[in-house]
A = this chain, B = another copy of it.
Amino acid sequence: MTAEIITIGDELLIGQIVDTNSAWMGEQLSLTGIKVHQISSISDNEEHILQALSEAEKRVDLVLITGGLGPTKDDITKKTLCKYFDTNLVMHEDILEKIKDFFDRRGFKMLEVNKQQAALPENCTIIPNPVGTASGMWFEKNNTVFVSMPGIPHEMKRIMIDGVLPKLKKEFDLPVIIHRTVLTYGVIESELSDLLEDFEKNLPQGMKLAYLPSLERLRLRLSITGTNRTELEKLLDEQVSNLKKYLGNKVFGYEDSSLQEAIGILLKDKGQTVAIAESCTGGNIAHLITSISGSSEYFKGSVIAYDNSIKQTVLKVSEQNLIKHGAVSKEVVEQMALSVQKLMKTDFAIATSGIAGPTGGTGEKPVGTTWIAVAVPSGEVFAKKYVFGTQRSQNIRRASAVALNNLRKRLLEK
């Protein structure tokens, strides 16, 4: 079974709203074994909607539509659907009661336009909306199913979960599509593709590998389609293990995890703690770590020593090192890591010092030059130099990811 998603609304086209509905619906359909062929965002325009519906009808078995079901004048989806399916609106008293109730509970006044939301196309199956006033509508035409839902994300999700997905599973014989995502860091796409040449060649028939890179992780997604879920899951799990053999500790997690989650799991397992001394990353590493709920178990704190005076007074970096080697140096970043480890009495510590840019670079130390250190429980400290790019925000993100990954690698050591 194939599907298309059509999201309706001028606000999507002028970029006032990011269309997060489509990604969510796409994921739900994929997980249900329905292949998403295309996602289209179109304007609140009758002709455009009619054309998009007609094109999608020719291509796929299922069309999910969101948006344009509100009570105001620019919401024309319902009227347009009546035209497309050659039908009329009928008032549903039971739904009108529910809408009245919805307004009463919130203490809002119900207007005539709200009453009109209980008028629905005669030839559709109504999919109830338990959290709003615009109902879902299920139509069938020439063997294609069309479902229209409101664009408000939490209303659309409830209609999908409670009504649309169960009905699809009941009425159609769907194949099984499964995905597994393996997360890596520290190896770029092309090198990984080299490392995985044999792995890719020997993948079971019908299994696909996709590379999805970003600044903080490179996701490797394995996908397979078939009929027997247990069998497919077994096949995928085998290849996930196999991939792990090829990549070893380059793999830091699975599915939607992150480096900060990975180090959190390792630290919790060991009952150990970490502190940070940040200069060029300016608090971003601490921010990433504390974005994880429960991080207070292993993260004690951070000193952001942005000004050199703070490096000296709070982190006890020697004036000599600052003068002789500069703030962006092995000597200084090592002292920062060891000091914060001692100050906050933690097992591990990480420290960063670099030139985030876009200005401040020199011939010897261009913008992007960054020293990153990890102090370990034995009292040893390991520092390494990196040269990132010229963009400030990216340098901060890259340095943060490398720092977390370097800590992760130390945490994996016996």
Contacts and interface: CB of A to CB of B under 8 A. Distances in A.
Contact of A301 (B219, B290, B306): B306
Contacts of A284: 283, 287, 290
A16 B282 CA distance: 30
Interface stretch (A105-113, A243-251, A405-413): A105-113
Given A23-B15, A72-B193, A286-B283, A305 B301 contact: yes
Contacts of A36: 13-14
A63 B357 CA distance: 34
A296 interface: yes
A320 interface: no
B14 A211 contact: no
A41 B19 CA distance: 11
Interface string A338-378: 00000111000000000011110000000010000000000
A322 B41 CA distance: 52
Contact of A391 (B113, B154, B296): B154
A211 to B, nearest CB: 5
Interface in A92-119: 105-111, 113-114
Interface string A293-309: 11110011111111101
Contact of A23 (B12, B214, B219): B12
Interface stretch (A77-85, A120-128, A184-192): A184-192
Contacts of A214: 152
Contacts of A265: none
Contact of A13 (B26, B188, B396): B26
Main secondary structure of the interface of A (DSSP, over half): mixed
A392 B19 CA distance: 22
A363 to B, nearest CB: 14
Which interface class (under 10, 10 to 19, 20 to 34, 35 or more) fits A?
A: 35 or more
A42 B40 CA distance: 9
A318 interface: no
Nearest to A105: B387
A389 B287 CA distance: 19
Nearest to A74: B210
Contact of A22 (B38, B41, B286, B368): B41
A263 to B, nearest CB: 15
Nearest to A192: B72
Contact of A39 (B40, B152, B221): B40
A110 B191 CA distance: 8
A37 interface: yes
Contacts of A24: 15
Contacts of A227: none
Residue among A13, A28, A189, A368 having the largest count of chain B Cβ atoms under 10 Å: A13
A27 B14 contact: yes
Contacts of A226: none
Contacts of A344: 307, 309-310, 313-314
A395 to B, nearest CB: 11
The 10 A-B pairs with the shortest beta carbon distances in the complex, nearest first, are A282-B290, A15-B27, A283-B286, A283-B283, A15-B26, A301-B310, A302-B304, A39-B41, A283-B287, A15-B23
8 contacts: A14-B27, A18-B18, A38-B40, A131-B389, A131-B391, A154-B394, A276-B304, A283-B285
